[in-house]
Structure 1
Amino acid sequence: MLKTTVYLPEELEVRLDAEAAATGVSKAELIRRGITMLLDSSPRPRTARTLPVFDSGRPLTAEAMDDVLYEHIKERAARR
Structure 2
Amino acid sequence: MKKTTVYLPEDLEVRLDAESSATGISKAELIRRGVAMLLENAERPKGTQRLPVFDSGRPLTPEAMDDTLYGHIKERAARR
TM-score range, shorter chain: 0.5 to 0.7
Give the gaps of 5 or more residues in structure 2.
46-80
Which TM-score applies when normalising by structure 1?
A: 0.55
Between Structure 1 and Structure 2, how many residues are aligned? 45
CA radius of gyration, larger in: 2
Give the gaps of 5 or more residues in structure 1.
46-80
Moved over 6 A (4+): none
The residue that corresponds to 2:40 in the other structure is 40
Deviations 1:56-80 (A, max 9, x none): xxxxxxxxxxxxxxxxxxxxxxxxx
Q: Percent identity?
A: 76
1:39-78 matches, within 5 Å, as 39-44=39-44
The residue that corresponds to 1:8 in the other structure is 8
The alignment's C-alpha RMSD in Å is 1.0
Question: Matched residues in 1 for 2:11 and 2:43: separation?
Answer: 29
